[in-house]
Amino acid sequence: MKAISKTILITGVSTGIGYGAAKHFIGRGYTVFGSVRKLQDGDQLKAEFGPLFEPLVFDVTDSEAVSNAADYLTQRLAGSGLGGLVNNAGVAFGGPVQYQPMDVFRQHFDVNVVGLVQVTQAFLPLLGARPDHPVQPGRILNISSVNGEVAIPFMSAYVGSKFAVEGFSHSLRRELALFGIKVIIVGPGAVKTPIWSKGTDMSAYQATPYYPAMQWFLKQVETSEADGFSVDYLGERIVAIHETARPRIRYAIVPNKLIGWLIPRLPTRLVDWIVGRISGLKKS
């Protein structure tokens, strides 16, 4: 059987972690197929990255567009296969559950969960989920978050979607063992990426009783952004994980070991007490 293909599909490459991953995969000689929602973004990235980058214009929530992209890559990679899938596309918007519109919750699960599953299903045959696959099976890297293990207030839609990604990834890994396809969870902590600055406008909640505690939350976000890893570093780590011969099931890439390693292991009631004490989310 031929060696694993040096081709990668990354969703959401316009900015952030997806952009950093695309840059470093290309630097290692991979052909990168990157999903963008706007043709203009794809053209700009093509001009920047050169011949090893090919944009695919689709929204992960658009089933027809995802299916068309899979059909195109099946023809484009005829006689070969896809070496890896990095499910990165995602959204994050903050707010208290009591006042957050249901459309925001639906968007989180449509993009972060259903979209991820939809893309995975469409490209599984190219990754090796078929009896006659001509090359070694590819790998799936699902980009979760530290919040796939640590639930914080005012990000419940995002947290819920990332917990779902983690559970889905564990089930998928056990199913795809049949074909030798590895499924790896990547759980970044604080990252200097536009997803947070775009998703933490809390002005709509100023008149709610939660707003004083939300000031604490916003300060935590600002501190995390200042201390977070660059998308360049995350991209480099993602490539290294993909190339690891025996990868771990989950990688926590966190600048703050207290949040990323210790808190998930503390008793839940203790974490509740800590959060309530430092945030003011506690009935006096």
271-281 confidence digits (pLDDT tens)? 999 999 988 89
Task: With a cut of 60, say whether residue 43 has pLDDT above it.
Answer: yes
| pLDDT given at position 220 | 78
Cβ atoms 249, 187 nearer than 8 A: no
Task: With a cut of 60, say whether residue 1 has pLDDT above it.
Answer: no
Cβ atoms 143, 193 nearer than 8 A: no
Selection from 163, 199, 184 nearest residue 237 by Cα: 184
| pLDDT given at position 3 | 66
170-189 confidence digits (pLDDT tens)? 999 999 999 999 999 999 99
Residue 95 — pLDDT band, cuts 50, 70, 90? very high
User: Mean pLDDT of all residues in the chain?
Assistant: 93
| pLDDT given at position 196 | 59
Identity of residue 187: G
Output the CATH code of domain 7-255: 3.40.50.720
What is the C-alpha separation between 206 and 209, in angstroms, rounded?
8
**Beta pairing, strands 7-10 & 31-36:** parallel
10 Å Cβ neighbour count for 263?
A: 19
**pLDDT (mean) for 100-107:** 96
Question: The whole model's pTM is what?
Answer: 0.94
Residue 200 — pLDDT band, cuts 50, 70, 90? low
Task: With a cut of 80, say whether residue 256 has pLDDT above it.
Answer: no
**pLDDT (mean) for 39-65:** 98
| Helices and strands (DSSP H and E) totals, the chain | 11, 7
Greatest mean pLDDT among 8-17, 218-227, 254-263 lies in 8-17
Q: Cite the active site residues.
A: 158
**H-type alpha helices, 77-229:** 102-109, 116-127, 156-176, 194-199, 211-227
